Amino acid sequence: MNSPVVTPANAVDIDQRWQQFAPDLEADKVMFSDVIPGGGHWSWLLPRGTALRLTALEAGANLSLVLYSAREKLERYNMPDSLKAEHTAHYTRGHVLMSDMGRSMASIIRDDLGWHDPLGLLLDAARMQEKYGAHPYQQFRNGMYRSGKDGLLIEIGKYGLMRRDLVAPVNFLSKVSVDEEGRFHFAPNHAQIGASVDLRLDMDVIVAVSAAPHPLDPRPDYAPGKVGVAAWRCGPAPADDYCRAFRPECARALYNTDLLYLA
């Protein structure tokens, strides 16, 4: 007798929260879903052709994300190369996140917001304590304050990566603009509740995320919003992919990745 096929619809204890913040996804393609609490962090090792939906479930949501090749962890997301090649200072639909090898690690295939921050870096422990005060685990337990930097270091450490391996993240759901004097300006209330962005993974990658506050968030209180994450099988970028046509540099980066998967 053949065993039944396990899907998100019938698997034991499968998280069904994707139905609340990504109800348009096809149930038979959904791989998993999760809710990252404000300040929380998590990571996954995911195959090429997976898509992630990142959804602001509360005001003040920010999700800092880094990528490493699962095949060779020395290859990782490179912010300077990506921005320079694509002639941009922010990300939206059509942009790809390039590695330091000129390959597309991920592509933004849908976007409610039109702007995600690649420049603002991470909230570290010193700045967090200076801005919000001390809330250590020993006293506050799960109510402790968590910095984005420490959260990502914990996550990449699960894969043998160290402090020296931490790269500049993409701060999804946040907007930082740069004026003519080179000063950064954070946009409050950029992501309304329910706003989301879809990210296709173009190679096998380690994905690590932190939902700690953006370091430029001007609010005086530590109040990061929770973020919904849903993953589904979307397949690799097709020949007529929007991101391939967005810029020649995007097409070249996707082609460079495709060469890894010819066999």
In a domain, 213, yes or no: yes
In a domain, 138, yes or no: yes
With a pLDDT cut of 90, the percent of the chain lying above it is 83
In a domain, 49, yes or no: yes
* CA terminus-to-terminus distance, the chain: 34
Band of pLDDT at residue 6, cut at 50, 70 and 90: very low
Per-residue confidence (pLDDT) for residue 17, from 0 to 100: 87
In a domain, 7, yes or no: no
Q: Which two tokens stand for residue 7?
A: 């899907």
32-69 residues labelled b (16+ CB within 10 A) or e (exposed): bbbbbbbbbbbbbebebbbbbbbbbbbebbbbbbbbbb
Q: What is the pLDDT of residues 40-81, one digit of tens each?
A: 999 999 999 999 999 999 988 999 999 999 999 999 999 999
Per-residue confidence (pLDDT) for residue 144, from 0 to 100: 79
In a domain, 5, yes or no: no
- Does residue 134 carry a pLDDT above 90? no
Per-residue confidence (pLDDT) for residue 259, from 0 to 100: 96
209 vs 125, more confident: 209
Angle subtended at Cα 185 by Cα 181 and Cα 189, rounded to the nearest 5 degrees: 165
With a pLDDT cut of 70, the percent of the chain lying above it is 94
Mean of per-residue pLDDT scores for the chain:
92
- Does residue 104 carry a pLDDT above 70? yes
Instruction: Quote the number of domains for the chain.
Output: 1
Average pLDDT over residues 161-177: 97
Report yes or no: 211 and 62 within 8 Å, Cβ to Cβ.
Answer: yes
Q: Of 36, 60, 94, give the one whose Cα is nearest residue 192.
A: 60
In a domain, 72, yes or no: yes
Per-residue confidence (pLDDT) for residue 208, from 0 to 100: 98
**Which structural domain range is residue 175 located in?**
29-261
Band of pLDDT at residue 28, cut at 50, 70 and 90: very high
In a domain, 75, yes or no: yes
In a domain, 6, yes or no: no
- Does residue 3 carry a pLDDT above 50? no
Q: Of 92, 90, 86, give the one whose Cα is nearest residue 111.
A: 92
Per-residue confidence (pLDDT) for residue 137, from 0 to 100: 64
